[in-house]
């Protein structure tokens, strides 16, 4: 049963697709979390430390992604949705503030912020939709509430000891991601219908683009903060310019038909809409790694390049490109082989790069990204229109 009041909470497909000012303010909150993650990554160059930071980055990203999905399905001009946005902002600020302190006994703040944001959001939605007697939308919110409650058991249990239980947290974030990928299958309610993913508007595409553009700003923000604490000689300035060039190149790689792809995702099928959070997580990991790279390069642009630095310098932009390619393939069968081949350039010089200055290695990576953009691709990559996958059954 649907009443007239339901349309005030569930977004109308013929309504405005522009992001609200509150949504843009919500995005800005995450800049601090991403910058802190990049800084911590540059200080903890180990596989174990990287895995822990990736877990926390995933939690931060999942908070943004689910909130963006909420404002896509529901009208962000309505007070319950605005309250959810402000709640998510408070939770995100607390998560960002607690990132550097998670490993020294302040993990409860991080967990309470993450779990509280998701669970309280779902409770607000279920309550508001129950009052409006919107059964379909209420069932959707109930599915989300069920799975975030399940994962919260592992999040909270993993935070009760003196140090985080990373194994339990790994299970918790896996539950969140797998539940999302599986469309939140819930006892008696089943999965979220594919039609709800297929109703994507230009609003969601705009939200993803806005977030990635803000995230890319960390590639220049983090090394700039590093440079401001020391002398600005010509080599550090060159490193900063290299960071700026890489930021622009990654921006160009991302914006190439990104909006068109997301619109096609909504109009032609739900596969890409469901996979977009995961492909963008790969890109975001690439952004954070690249920002951490230049935090190191501007601190010491000369001398030999340690192996951990070398891996980080090459991996960051490569992860971004891989995520962007996966995003394209989620919508169409197009694989930009000619462009992706340029990412092999840093790998070809890898055997010798350890003896080169970090600035030179970063410049070679930038050259590979430039080749990705400047070399013409196949006709299917550049001509108007997309050969989209068939809609999900």
pLDDT band at 262 (very low <50, low <70, confident <90, very high): low
For residue 332, give Cα distances in angstroms to 96, 206, 275, 356.
Answer: 36, 20, 13, 40
pTM: 0.88
pLDDT tens digits, 5-42: 444 677 776 666 677 788 888 888 888 888 888 988 88
Rounded CA gap, 32 and 42, in Å?
15
How does DSSP assign 131-176, residue by residue? HHT-HHHHHHHHHHHHHHHHHHHHHHHHTSSSS--HHHHHHHHHHH
Report DSSP state, residue 343. G
What angle is formed at CA 126 by the lines to CA 122 and CA 132, rounded to 5 degrees?
Answer: 145
**Cα-based torsion angle of the residue sequence 171, 177, 183, 184 in order, rounded to the nearest 10 degrees:** 40
pLDDT in tens, 320-368: 999 988 888 877 766 767 667 777 777 787 777 878 899 999 999 999 8
Whole-number pLDDT of residue 389: 47
Closest CA relative to residue 20, chosen from 203, 148, 142: 203
């Amino acid at each position: 049963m649907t009443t007239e009041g339901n349309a005030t909470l569930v977004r109308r497909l013929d309504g405005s697709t522009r992001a609200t000012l509150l949504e843009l303010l919500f995005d800005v909150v995450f800049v601090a979390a991403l910058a802190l993650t990049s800084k911590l990554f540059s200080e903890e160059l180990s596989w174990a430390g990287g895995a822990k930071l990736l877990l926390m980055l995933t939690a931060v990203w999942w908070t943004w992604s689910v909130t963006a999905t909420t404002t896509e399905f529901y009208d962000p001009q309505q007070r319950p949705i605005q309250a959810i946005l402000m709640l998510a902002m408070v939770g995100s600020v607390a998560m960002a503030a607690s990132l550097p302190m998670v490993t020294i006994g302040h993990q409860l703040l991080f967990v309470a912020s993450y779990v509280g944001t998701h669970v309280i959001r779902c409770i607000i939605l279920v309550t508001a939709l129950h009052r409006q007697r919107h059964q379909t939308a209420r069932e959707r919110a109930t599915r989300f509430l069920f799975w975030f409650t399940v994962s919260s058991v592992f999040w909270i249990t993993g935070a009760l000891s003196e140090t985080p239980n990373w194994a339990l947290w790994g299970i918790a974030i896996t539950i969140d991601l797998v539940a999302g990928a599986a469309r939140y299958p819930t006892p008696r309610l089943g999965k979220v219908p594919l039609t709800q993913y297929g109703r994507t508007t230009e609003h969601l595409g705009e939200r993803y683009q806005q977030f990635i553009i803000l995230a890319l700003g960390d590639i220049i923000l983090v090394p700039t903060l590093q440079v401001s604490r020391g002398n600005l000689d010509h080599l550090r300035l060159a490193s900063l310019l290299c960071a700026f060039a890489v930021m622009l190149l990654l921006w160009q790689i991302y914006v190439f038909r990104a909006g068109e792809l997301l619109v096609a995702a909504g109009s032609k099928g739900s596969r890409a809409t469901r996979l977009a959070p995961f492909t963008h997580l790969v890109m975001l990991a690439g952004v954070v790694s690249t920002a951490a790279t230049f935090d190191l390069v501007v601190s010491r642009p000369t001398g030999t390049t340690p192996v951990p630095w070398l891996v980080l310098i090459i991996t960051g932009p490569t992860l971004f490109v891989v995520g962007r390619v996966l995003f394209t393939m989620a919508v169409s069968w197009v694989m930009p082989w000619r462009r992706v081949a340029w990412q092999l350039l840093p790998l070809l010089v890898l055997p010798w790069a350890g003896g080169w200055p970090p600035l030179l290695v970063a410049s070679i990576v930038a050259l590979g990204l430039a080749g990705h953009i400047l070399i013409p691709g196949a006709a299917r990559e550049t001509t108007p229109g997309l050969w989209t996958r068939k809609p999900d059954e």
